[in-house]
Copies of this chain bind each other. A is one copy, B any other.
Amino acid sequence: MKKKPLILVTNDDGITAPGIRTLIETMKEFGEVVVVAPDSPQSGMGHAVTLHQPLRLDEVDIYPDIRAFQSSGTPVDCVKLAVDIVLDRKPDLLVSGINHGSNSSINVIYSGTMSAAVEGAIEGISSIGFSLLDYSYHANFKPLVPYIRQIASEVLEKQLPAGTLLNVNFPKAEKFKDIKGVRVCRQALAKWEENFVERTDPNGRQYYWMTGRFVNDDQGDDTDEWALKHGYVSVVPVQFDLTDHHQIPFINRWNFHVQ
């Protein structure tokens, strides 16, 4: 008899966020769910790991019939703790999210949610990051559930190739019918233009708040930004081999000879 799939759930908004609650509920239909997630919000943590501080990891009783652990670490720490300490076998699936806010385009690189999924793929686990284009704590996750179910089901059945994970972003939707379907996309070549707001503290010293404007000059209709803008779910296959293989011949012609 085939074992029930083991599914690891994590996020970067913290273990009690509505987004992860929706993901836990949906994943229960597929197998045994174990949650290892940060004890507080960790947005924008990227692929940070905690090397020079100790980590806490505590079992918590917040989801009925689900083994759940909160950690003081980053999302990537959570995946490492799950694999090394919590789980006795490699999970069949890792899902991260649902993030409150989209992680399309360049945001894949800043996102703790996506970095947790990347770490899953590095560990050889089929991994998916889910995000919704709505930053609100009270975002409506319900219309996404049929899509999450379908995407998770395909990944469990077909298995992702080694080195590949999925970055799934949802447009904001009031009801299921508002979503037009799924597009397999590439990451749009967009970026943030920062604008730091300068303030002065009561002691007369300056400090800065990071703010920014998202700028997308990528006009392609095969990008995740295009899909979201037009009401589609974007699915981007993501890799953690950062080598720009196509540039190797170009760089190879440079002169690196030192006398």
A contacts, CB < 8 Å to B = 41, 43-52, 54-57, 74, 76-77, 80-81, 83-85, 106, 108-110, 115, 118, 122-123, 146-147, 149-151, 154, 158, 161, 163-164, 166-167, 176, 181-182, 184, 186-187, 189, 191, 194-196, 198-199, 205-210, 233, 235-245, 247-248, 250-252, 254-259
Contact = CB atoms under 8 A, between A and B. Distances in A.
B251 A237 contact: yes
The A interface is mostly helix, strand or loop, or mixed, namely mixed
A163 B186 contact: no
Return the 4 tightest CB-CB contacts between A and B, nearest first. A46-B47, A182-B256, A239-B244, A237-B247
Given A47-B48, A47-B110, 8 more contacts: A43-B52, A44-B51, A47-B109, A55-B208, A147-B258, A150-B258, A151-B256, A186-B248
Contacts of A83: 194
Contacts of A195: 84
Copy total for this chain? 2
6 contacts: A43-B52, A45-B46, A47-B110, A56-B205, A149-B258, A181-B256
A157 to B, nearest CB: 9
Given A46-B76, A48-B46, A243 B163 contact: no
A242 B248 CA distance: 17
Nearest to A212: B80
B238 A150 contact: no
Given A235-B256, A242-B187, A257-B181, A210 B51 contact: yes
Contacts of A176: 258
B242 A108 contact: yes
Contacts of A123: 191
A248 to B, nearest CB: 6
A149 B241 CA distance: 27
Contact of A45 (B48, B84, B238, B251): B48
A66 B73 CA distance: 37
Contacts of A191: 122-123
